[in-house]
Amino acid sequence: MFAVLTGCTPQSSVPEGIQVYFSPKGGATEAVVDALGRATNSVLVQAYSFTSAPIARALVDAHRRGVRVNVILDHSQRTEKYSEADFLRHEAIPTLIDAQHAIAHNKIMIVDDYLVLTGSFNFTKQAEEHNAENLLVINDPVLAKKYMENWHAHEGHSEAYEREARKRAR
């Protein structure tokens, strides 16, 4: 009905330069790891939840290849039991906490100033294996520039990651 009313027809294919993945088990984690494996210059990350070991390892591998990797996480990652933040920091990857927002709900990566990974897909095992989520991989330097500007704005009010002790239930 919408297509008839608006004159729009559903697209049967994805536009050039865009890839789309759905979870569960739709290859989103593999797509992220692949993009990180091809990085040659820089990776900027903003993540709400970050518990995916394969993605964390791919970031570390990129860092070891000389790629500049910088991460901004939601404050919840200070106490998240399975957060990869400690691993990243231990591997000397600059890891920040977005200290300004109630929830830093971004789930994005910008690779080499031209590739944007974005969507509802959290960088977690749960997102890959159980949740209904989506990931877009967009090859567009103009869009990447907008995302980089936003990333740097958040960097400006973020603080260095330090783990907080988890509060125990009484």
Q: Annotated catalytic sites, by residue?
A: 105, 107, 112
Say how far apart CA 144 and CA 138 lie, in whole Å: 9
Helices 53-64 and 28-38 cross at an angle (nearest 10°) of 10
> CB count, 10 Å around CB of 164?
10
Residues in contact with 169: Cβ distance below 8 Å, sequence separation at least 6, in sequence order:
none
SS3 35: helix
Please answer whether residues 93 and 107 qualify as being in contact, where contact means their C-beta atoms are separated by less than 8 angstroms. no
